[in-house]
């Protein structure tokens, strides 16, 4: 069944993160899954739909691929082409899914997230050695967990804590807003477990994303559909928190004050001024695949000797220029427009 295969693919790729696994492994896995997705399309003979969000993202990848022709290497072209082929074939398969397939896929993703949660708990409380360590280091948990200061950050099988936190955030939101057939108490309990996994990863940005998503969901849920007062109270509470807590207190409470983490991310925003100074073609279409290292070497990105941009919008602009950023913005707008109205209202 296509949804089961896609779920299995997600599980496989959580165990072989491309930035740690041997390149030969990721390439072979990418080619095999691309062929598998194409075979699914051929066997099931369901005509794929190409919604605006998929087309926009495909255009972004084309921009990044073409933009790298001047500076990238043959290896960069190959990796980008592999990625584009796999993403395109996967998008084509998922676009054929009906409601039942989507339910199976969501269930499969939650199973994968449950496995990652088990790894995170075992790494934190049982001292299980993380299968891929943390970058090049071996051990169970790493660095300081600002969300749970008594422990380090658990990476699951990803080799890094941030992807684990992202997966846990997605799982918590899927449980709360997709599994509506389950009792609310059950959903809250399951979501709390995934939030625990998020906390074990120490990923503060993922926790903030969950809070924002919960506020949005609360303002459009069945609970508040007929009660404007609930929506107003929620918005006022969020506004009051922002006003009375103060940004400095919020930064301090999250453990960001005076940290390299915050300084590095602020430096990414400062780097935009330097990126705006590139040539007109690069401003429009970016520097393309394989250009991030070159941009660091040229001093156009952060200069603190940590070669990770840590800001997705800056990264998108560096790679794809204004056209690439426009493609991603178009994909986001299309995806939000495609979200069904809350509680089935027209």
pLDDT in tens, the chain (346 residues): 788 888 888 888 888 766 666 767 777 877 888 888 888 888 877 777 777 777 887 788 788 777 766 666 777 677 777 777 888 888 888 888 888 888 999 999 999 999 999 999 999 999 999 887 887 788 899 988 988 989 999 999 988 899 999 999 999 999 988 888 888 889 999 999 999 999 999 998 888 888 888 877 776 655 445 455 555 565 666 555 555 544 444 445 455 555 566 777 788 888 888 999 898 988 998 888 778 888 888 888 888 887 788 888 898 899 899 999 998 888 888 777 655 544 444 3
Q: What is the predicted pLDDT for the residue at 61?
A: 78
For 36-91, the pLDDT digits (tens) are 888 888 887 777 777 777 788 778 878 877 776 666 677 767 777 777 788 888 88
Q: What is the predicted pLDDT for the residue at 343?
A: 42
Tokens of 167: 């997966």
Q: Which residue has the tokens 């009660």?
A: 227
Q: What is the predicted pLDDT for the residue at 118?
A: 96
- C-alpha angle 291/297/303, rounded to 5°? 115
- Which of 123, 113, 208 minimizes the C-alpha distance to 164? 113
316: number of Cβ within 10 Å = 21
Q: What is the predicted pLDDT for the residue at 197?
A: 95
Q: What is the predicted pLDDT for the residue at 234?
A: 58
For residues 103 and 291, what is the distance between their CA atoms, to the nearest angstrom?
39
60: number of Cβ within 10 Å = 24
Q: What is the predicted pLDDT for the residue at 33?
A: 84
Q: How far is CA 206 from the centre of its chain?
A: 9
Q: Which residues of 82-99 are buried (b: 16+ CB within 10 A; e: fewer)?
A: bbbbbbbbbbbbbbbbee
For residues 261 and 311, what is the distance between their CA atoms, to the nearest angstrom?
11
Q: What is the predicted pLDDT for the residue at 342?
A: 44
For 170-183, the pLDDT digits (tens) are 999 999 888 888 88
Which residues fall within 8 angstroms of residue 129, CB to CB, at 6 or more apart?
123, 138, 139, 140
Q: What is the predicted pLDDT for the residue at 226?
A: 47
């Amino acid at each position: 069944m296509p949804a089961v295969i896609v779920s299995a693919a997600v599980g496989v790729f959580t165990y072989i993160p491309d930035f740690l696994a041997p390149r030969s492994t990721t390439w072979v896995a990418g080619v095999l899954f691309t062929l598998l997705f194409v075979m699914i399309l051929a066997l099931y003979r369901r005509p794929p739909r190409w919604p605006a969000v998929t087309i926009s993202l495909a255009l972004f990848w084309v921009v990044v691929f073409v933009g790298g022709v001047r500076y990238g290497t043959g290896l960069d072209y190959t990796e980008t082409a592999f990625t584009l082929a796999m993403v395109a074939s996967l998008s084509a398969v998922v676009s054929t899914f009906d409601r039942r397939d989507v339910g199976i896929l969501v269930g499969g993703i939650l199973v994968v997230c449950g496995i990652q949660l088990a790894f995170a708990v075992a790494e934190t409380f049982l001292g299980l050695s993380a299968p891929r360590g943390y970058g090049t280091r071996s051990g169970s948990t790493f660095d300081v967990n600002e969300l749970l200061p008594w422990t380090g950050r658990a990476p699951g099988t990803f080799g890094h804590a941030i992807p684990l936190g992202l997966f846990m955030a997605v799982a918590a939101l899927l449980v709360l807003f997709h599994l509506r057939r389950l009792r609310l108490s059950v959903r809250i309990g399951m979501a709390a477990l995934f939030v625990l996994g998020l906390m074990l990863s120490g990923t503060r940005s993922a926790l903030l994303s969950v809070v924002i998503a919960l506020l949005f969901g609360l303002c459009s849920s069945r609970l508040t559909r007929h009660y404007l007062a609930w929506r107003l109270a929620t918005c006022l509470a969020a506004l009051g928190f922002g006003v009375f807590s103060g940004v400095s207190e919020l930064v301090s409470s999250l453990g960001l004050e005076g940290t390299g983490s915050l300084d590095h991310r602020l430096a990414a925003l400062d780097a935009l001024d330097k990126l705006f100074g590139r040539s007109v073609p690069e401003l429009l279409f970016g520097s393309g695949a394989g250009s991030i290292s070159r941009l660091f070497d040229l001093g156009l990105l952060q200069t603190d000797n940590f070669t990770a941009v840590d800001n997705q919008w800056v990264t998108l602009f560096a790679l794809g220029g204004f056209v690439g950023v426009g493609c991603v913005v178009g994909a986001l707008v299309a995806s939000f427009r495609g979200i069904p109205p809350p509680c089935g209202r027209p």
